[in-house]
Amino acid sequence: MATTLIATIEIEAPLLTKSSAPGEAGLDAIMARNAKNEAVLHDRHIKGKLRDAWRELAADLKVPVDDWLGYAGANRQNSSGDFRPRTGLIQVKDFTGPVIGETDPRIRIQIDSERRAAQEHMLQMIESPFDSGDRLVFRGVIECEDGVDVQFAMRAITAGLYWAGTCGGMRTSGFGRIVSVNLKVDGKPRATVLTDSGTDRLWVWLTTSDSVCVTESRAMDNLYVSGQTLPGGVIKGALASTWLRALGKEGLVRADSDSTKPQLSAHFDKIRFSHGRVTRKDRTASLALVPPLSIGRTGTSYRDFALCSDIHADGTEAVTFEPDWKISDRLAMGRRFGSEHMPTELRVRTAIDPTKRRAADSQLFAWQVIVPKEEQGWTSCIDCGAVPEQDRATVRSQLLSLLSRPIRYVGKTKATLNVELLEYKPTQSIDRADVYVLTLQTPALLGNPDSLTEAHSGDVLLKAYAADFATMSNGALKLVRFFAKQYLQGGMYLYKHFLDGGDYPYQPYLLTQPGSVFVMEPAGDRKDKAVECIREWARFGLPAAPWSAERYRRGGLPGDHWSNHPYLRENGFGEIAVNLSCHWEEHLEIPEENGGAR
């Protein structure tokens, strides 16, 4: 169990920890702040100060720096590593200080050494919310794992911050002088009591006070953009890391990982963690849906075309679908299907050369993180239904004991999630004659790449999808039509983790995008089997496509084993919504921003 330290740093103004966000017109540098307009010392800034100080004091302190603060894994520029970055035994969270008020900026100029006058274009205006000499108190949390001598860590952290001497920028101009450092052990219990409801599905609400970055896309080579959704695989992996590191272990959960939880260890891979979707505290019983890609716009109205064999415009304007929509159309769909979004913040990072005390070359990168509001969190479902029935109750009990403590190491920021149980019990009705309209809510690995060509033919893709659904349903379902988008997901990290050592040459994964719609009907007289299959998919998600077992085979294990396949339904992928009401509506009512409808 981790020990939480409450750290207090007193700093003498002036102080500038520069924000990545732009400020008011004319300001060149503004103070980093949070949503409450409080000054912030970011976690990476504190860790960088400690890392440099401990290395300089290595002969006296003998701090195991890499063990305590971790180190980076390999990347494309350094591909000789194992691509498994070492997470440190000590985690530092953001430090928050006083509220930032409105004051006049500080003005700096550079003097031309020859003319002894102001150099042209060298005027800088700096936000200066605190008067010189003011004592600013910043408080934050530092978490130490069981493998850390807490008393030694407290002495080392205190000594490291005093040795660093300053926080923020412009330290050689007298900014950010550290006056005092105080650490104490937080005596508040971090565990919560979670009562077993006796059902196989546990609905949980996940909250955090940390910023979160789970990369969904890379807008450019060194800009990592976080998605709003927490993938089930990330939640499951973070829980596994929290569990193993509490045991002093690393790596993968195996049947013999924890002698006190043998059933959970043996069946952990069978537990399904759904993607966490953003919800508000007062709306946890209502999950947002991904709008179906079968919805088109005709004029000023929207209609779902999933059940239409032919698509015709109602008026003179052509029907437009999601790829051709404007931002206003996407916002309208978000209101219709109840989407909730968390605020985002850009954080620019760079490594500091300890010898030059300035930014190192070619080490600049940025994260677009999400910063949840106090009333926001993620709703997720943990389903033990695939665990053998004789062990299910024991596995559920052991799982609840794990969830009673925070889940750590989430995403790039190593955020900590608190867990609450919900009473949410969703229902899906599939009784709509002999048609089943499936809308993907999370990405799915569908369509055998070997069966596709570069002809961009819809018929080829229809055959590839139809083959997958026919095989996954054991011939009980037939694909009628689809509305889908695809994208490629790959790179060195995925290759090293899941593809290296396989029989096939590297190819990125071809994923079908959330919102994709597949219209199915029973094959022949197999309606009972079709309904049974749809109900199973609605609960657990789409199974792994049969061709993946051979294509991603590696290490003596089939390709649909969890260690070879990152997009399994046990990790929240392939989730579907069945027969949404919008498919049968002639006209979709769109709520106005003020709560009305049109």
pLDDT tens digits along 484-495: 999 998 888 788
Asked, for residue 190, whether it belongs to a domain, the answer is no
Question: Residue 174 above 90 pLDDT?
Answer: no
What is the CA 355 to chain-centroid distance, rounded?
A: 35
How far is residue 492's CA from residue 19's CA, in Å, rounded to a whole number? 31
Residues 460 and 560 in one domain: yes
pLDDT tens for residues 267-288?
999 999 999 999 987 765 568 8
pLDDT tens for residues 510-551?
999 999 999 999 998 888 899 999 999 999 999 999 899 888
Element holding 263 (H helix, E strand): helix 262-267
Residues 137 and 244 in one domain: no
Q: What is residue 325's predicted lDDT score, i.e. its pLDDT?
A: 92
Are the CB atoms for 447 and 465 separated by under 8 Å?
yes
Are the CB atoms for 212 and 229 separated by under 8 Å?
no
Q: Are strands 365-370 and 223-226 parallel, antiparallel or unpaired?
A: parallel
Tell which of 132, 150, 185 closes a domain. 185
| Range list of H helices, 474-588 | 492-494, 527-540, 548-551
Question: Residue 197 above 80 pLDDT?
Answer: no
| Range list of H helices, 408-478 | 458-472
Q: What is residue 285's predicted lDDT score, i.e. its pLDDT?
A: 59
pLDDT tens for residues 371-400?
999 999 999 999 999 999 999 999 999 999
Q: What is residue 391's predicted lDDT score, i.e. its pLDDT?
A: 94
Are the CB atoms for 229 and 277 separated by under 8 Å?
yes
Residues 112 and 22 in one domain: yes
Q: What is residue 1's predicted lDDT score, i.e. its pLDDT?
A: 67
pLDDT tens for residues 37-61?
899 999 999 999 999 999 999 888 8
Q: What is the DSSP string of 99-168?
A: EP---PPEEEEEEETTTTEEEEEEEEEE---S-TT-EEEEEEEEEE-TTS-HHHHHHHHHHHHHHH-B-S
- Beta-carbon contacts of 444 under 8 Å, excluding residues fewer than 6 positions away, are 511, 512, 516, 542, 567, 573, 574
Residues 331 and 468 in one domain: no
Are the CB atoms for 73 and 83 separated by under 8 Å?
yes
Residues 409 and 355 in one domain: yes
How far is residue 463's CA from residue 479's CA, in Å, rounded to a whole number? 9
Mean pLDDT for the stretch of residues 468-477 = 94
| Range list of H helices, 407-512 | 458-472, 492-494
Which phi and psi angles does 266 have, rounded to 5°?
-75, -30
Residues 325 and 347 in one domain: no
pLDDT tens for residues 429-450?
666 668 999 999 999 999 998 8
Residues 247 and 320 in one domain: no
Residue 533: domain span: 436-578
Mean pLDDT for the stretch of residues 191-220 = 83
With 0-12 / 13-18 / 19 or more C-beta atoms within 10 angstroms meaning exposed / middle / buried, residue 338 is middle
Q: What is residue 554's predicted lDDT score, i.e. its pLDDT?
A: 87
Question: In percent, how much of the chain has pLDDT > 90?
Answer: 52
Q: What is residue 74's predicted lDDT score, i.e. its pLDDT?
A: 55
Q: What is residue 91's predicted lDDT score, i.e. its pLDDT?
A: 92
Asked, for residue 431, whether it belongs to a domain, the answer is no
Asked, for residue 194, whether it belongs to a domain, the answer is no
Residues 550 and 570 in one domain: yes
Question: Residue 194 above 90 pLDDT?
Answer: no
Asked, for residue 397, whether it belongs to a domain, the answer is yes
pLDDT tens for residues 118-168?
888 888 888 888 989 999 999 999 999 888 999 999 999 999 999 999 999
How far is residue 385's CA from residue 396's CA, in Å, rounded to a whole number? 10
Asked, for residue 429, whether it belongs to a domain, the answer is no
Q: What is residue 115's predicted lDDT score, i.e. its pLDDT?
A: 85
Q: What is residue 507's predicted lDDT score, i.e. its pLDDT?
A: 84
Residues 462 and 554 in one domain: yes
Return mean pLDDT, the chain.
Answer: 87
How far is residue 56's CA from residue 163's CA, in Å, rounded to a whole number? 9
Q: What is residue 85's predicted lDDT score, i.e. its pLDDT?
A: 66
Mean pLDDT for the stretch of residues 547-561 = 87
Q: In this structure, is the dihedral angle defined by the CA atoms of residues 197, 200, 205 and 210, taken in order, positive or negative?
A: positive
Q: Which two tokens stand for residue 530?
A: 């079709």
Residues 519 and 462 in one domain: yes
Tell which of 422, 455, 485 closes a domain. 422
Quick count: other Cβ atoms within 10 Å of Cβ 509? 19
What does DSSP assign to residue 499?
I
Question: Residue 357 above 80 pLDDT?
Answer: no
Asked, for residue 174, whether it belongs to a domain, the answer is yes
Asked, for residue 195, whether it belongs to a domain, the answer is no
Q: What is residue 28's predicted lDDT score, i.e. its pLDDT?
A: 83
How far is residue 395's CA from residue 403's CA, in Å, rounded to a whole number? 12
Mean pLDDT for the stretch of residues 456-482 = 91
Number of domains in the chain: 4
Q: What is residue 27's predicted lDDT score, i.e. its pLDDT?
A: 83
Residues 347 and 251 in one domain: yes
Residues 489 and 391 in one domain: no
Q: What CATH number is associated with residue 417? A: 3.30.70
Are the CB atoms for 405 and 190 separated by under 8 Å?
yes
Q: What is residue 73's predicted lDDT score, i.e. its pLDDT?
A: 58
Asked, for residue 584, whether it belongs to a domain, the answer is no
Question: In percent, how much of the chain has pLDDT > 70?
Answer: 92
Question: Residue 425 above 60 pLDDT?
Answer: yes
Q: What is the DSSP string of 183-226?
A: EEE--S---------SSSEEEEEEE-SS-B--EEEEEETTEEEE
Question: Residue 70 above 90 pLDDT?
Answer: no
**Distance (Å) of CA 530 to CA 293, 394, 537:** 24, 32, 11
Query: Residue 598 — very low, low, confident or very high, per pLDDT cuts 50/70/90?
Result: low
Are the CB atoms for 394 and 384 separated by under 8 Å?
no
